[in-house]
Structure formats: C-alpha cells, structure tokens
Structure 1
Amino acid sequence: MDRKEMWRHIAEQRLAVAEALIDLDPDEWERPSLCEGWRVRDVVAHIGLAPEITWGMTLREFARAHGSFHRFIRETAIDRAALPNDELIAIVRRVAPAQRLAPGTTTKEPLLDILVHAQDIFLPLGRDFTMPEHPALVAADRIWQIPPPFGFGAKKRLRGFRVSATDAPWSRGDGPSISGPLQAIVLLISGRVTAALPYLSGDGVQTLAVQTKE
C-alpha cells in the first residue's frame, strides 16, 4: 500500500469514527475504553489531537510528563477530553484529511492508531465497527515490528506462539497456535489481549489466557 492509499484509508476511518460517535449516549462517553485508565472520551480526544502534535508540543508536554512517553500521550488526551462531546466529534471530523505525522512516526502509525482506537471505543460499548482488511494487514505488520517503549512489544509478549489470522494472509511466530479473525489478531498484538481472547482459538490460547491473568 502506497502513502496516498494509506492517507485515504486514514481519512475514511477517522470520518467513520466521527459518524459513529454521533450515536453514542452521553453515559457511553464516560465508560471505560479498552485502554486501561482511559474513558471513551479520552480516546476520542486523542484521535483528534494526534494529527496536531508538533515538535514544540512534544518537547513541552514530554517535559511536563517527566520524560514518560505514555504519560505524555495520556495527559494531553485528558486535557482535550474536557471539551463537549459535539466539539470532540467536530475535531475528529476536521482532522480527518490531515496528513501531518507526529514526530518520529511513519504513515503507518496514524493508520494503526485509528484502526486500534476505533475498537478501543466501540468494542466495550457492544457496538460493531468493522476493521477493513487491507489497512488492518498493514497495521498488523507495523504493530508486530515496533519495539517498546514506543510500540506494543508484540514479539516479546507473544514469543513461543504461532499467531495467525483465519480470514486473511497474516501469521507470525512459531509454537502453539493462536488464531482468529484479523480484527481480533490486531487487538491481540496491540495489547488488548482480554478483549481479543473470546475470538481466538488454538492450542496456545489457554496458555495465553493464564499468562494474561498473572
């Protein structure tokens, strides 16, 4: 997938999220997302904020977060999340066509960001939000590659398993099998293990479930 196509998918997914957010009840905005410690509204705020992050903002907020990347991301989102719901939706819609990359990222990061965060929002609310296959394959490849602390540590967490999509040509690793729909695999490798488990099968799933509880 070339950059032009990636940006098209990013814009389409951002707009689709904005449209789906219109249907949320006020209480759903306050419910926990799949991101631990993040409400739905915090994730929405992050989606709208990510395309606006500059080097200056990064340096300033990174210092405020005492050098913690994850704290920097969380605190900037929580600050923005204080805005009214309709304004947060409007921001997501406004930034949908934006092609600005956050410092140190590639075009693949905003693609995986919107795909994963859409699930963070809608899955715990019991609302379906389909992840398109081609963009999800690109996202899965990138998620698997990014090392910590900026990535998901998928290679390390899932070492010793063979992770495979049942509905798309994607597999990684060796060992006991963990398989499921590509959408569930993306959740799994991005650290949303508990959310992914009900959709997974294979002789490695029980071991994975035990490891998740430890």
Structure 2
Amino acid sequence: MDETRTWQTIDSERAATADLLTGLTDEQWSHPSLCAGWTVREVAAHLSLAHRIKAGTAFRAFVRARGSFNRMVDQTARDEARRPPADLVAELRGAVGLHRLAPGQTLKNALMDTLVHTQDIAVPLGIERHMPLDAAVVAADDLWRMGFPFHARRRLAGHRLVATDTDWAAGEGAEISGPIEALVMLLAGRTATIPRLTGITA
C-alpha cells in the first residue's frame, strides 16, 4: 500500500469506527475491551487523540508518567475518557481527512493502531468487523518488525505464522495459521481471536 492508499484506509476505518460507537448503549461504552484495564470508552478516547496530540503535549505527558510510555498512553486515554461519548465520537470523526501522525508514530503504526483498536472494541461486544486484507498485511508486517511494546517475534519464537486468506507468513517453526486479522491480533498480544487460529491454544 502506498501512502495515499494507507491514509484512505485509515480515514475509512476511523469513519466506520465512529459510526459503530454512535450506536452503542451506555452499558456497551462501559464494557471491557480487549485492551487490559480499558473499557470501550478508554479505547475510543485513545483513538480520538492520535491526530490531536502535539510534541509538547506528549513530552509533558511523558514527564507526568515518570518516563513510562505505557503509563503515558494509559493516563492520557483515561483523562480523555472523562469526556462525554458524543465528544469522543465527534473527535474521531473529525480526524477523517486530517493526515497527522502522533509524535514518534509512523504511518504504518497509525494504520496498525486503528485496525487493532477497532477490533478491541468490536470483538468483545460481539460486533463483526473485518480488516481490509491489504491493510491487515501491512499491520502484520509492522507488528512482526517492531519490538516494543508488543515483542511479537520474541513471544512467538519457534512458530511460523501463516495467513489462510491472503499471501502472508512470518517466522520459523511449528505452524500457526488462520485469517490474517486473527494473526494481527495475536501479534498485538490479544488472545480473544485465538479460537480462529489452528496450532495454538489460549
């Protein structure tokens, strides 16, 4: 995927996720997501921040988090989640067409983040959403390449991951196979989609 196509996909996913969130009940907004410790509301808040956070803001949040990236991400999402759901939806919808990356984020990171967090919301709510295959391949490559914070290659050492619905594979060893979107979630450290995979158990 080239840059134009990648941004088009991010825009499309953001718009669709905003539509999904618009139809949720108060109970669903408070439902646990696939992100440990976060409800749907915190995930939505995190997604609404990416295009708005600036370098200075990120630095202050990092200092407040005492130098912990994970703590910074958690604190900023929780702070933002205090806003009304309608505001979070409006912020996410307003991101469509605004092609800005968070400090230190690459375009592939942004695509992966959008795809994974949409599933973090949809899967536990029993809402069926599918990743575009070409975008899922880019996300899988990005997750396999990066170390922190997912460390996929280390966690899945001794296994070969093979997509059954598109041309993608990585690693060496005992085979884990299934839909590319389920592999993406596995690479991102989520276990909820493991039942869709063969060669691995939760």
Q: Compute the TM-score of the two structures, normalised by the length of structure 1.
A: 0.92
Q: Which one-letter code corresponds to 2:130 in the other structure? A: T
Q: Which one-letter code corresponds to 1:172 in the other structure? A: A
Instruction: Spell out the pairing of 1:93-112 with structure 2 (5 A cutoff).
Output: 93-112=93-112
The aligned residue for residue 179 of structure 1 is 177
- Specify every segment of 5 or more residues in structure 2 that has no aligned partner in the other structure, as ranges: none
The aligned residue for residue 201 of structure 1 is 198
TM-superposition CA deviations, 1:96-130 (whole Å, max 9, x none): 22211112221111100110000000100111111
Deviation (angstroms), 1:141: 0.5
TM-superposition CA deviations, 1:165-188 (whole Å, max 9, x none): 111111111111111111100000
Q: Secondary structure at the match of 1:179?
A: strand
Deviation (angstroms), 1:86: 1.1
Return structure 1 stretches of 4+ with deviation > 4 angstroms: none
Deviation (angstroms), 1:44: 0.2
Distance 2:97 2:20 in 1: 17
Deviation (angstroms), 1:147: 1.2
Count of aligned pairs between the two proteins: 202
The aligned residue for residue 5 of structure 1 is 5
Distance 2:129 2:21 in 1: 11
The aligned residue for residue 76 of structure 1 is 76
Distance 1:68 1:84 in 2: 27
Q: Which one-letter code corresponds to 1:91 in the other structure? A: E
The aligned residue for residue 153 of structure 2 is 155
Q: Compute the TM-score of the two structures, normalised by the length of structure 2.
A: 0.97
Q: Secondary structure at the match of 1:127?
A: coil
Q: Which one-letter code corresponds to 1:67 in the other structure? A: G
The aligned residue for residue 90 of structure 1 is 90
2:55 paired with 1:55? yes
Q: Secondary structure at the match of 1:131?
A: coil
Distance 2:146 2:123 in 1: 24
Q: Which one-letter code corresponds to 1:29 in the other structure? A: W
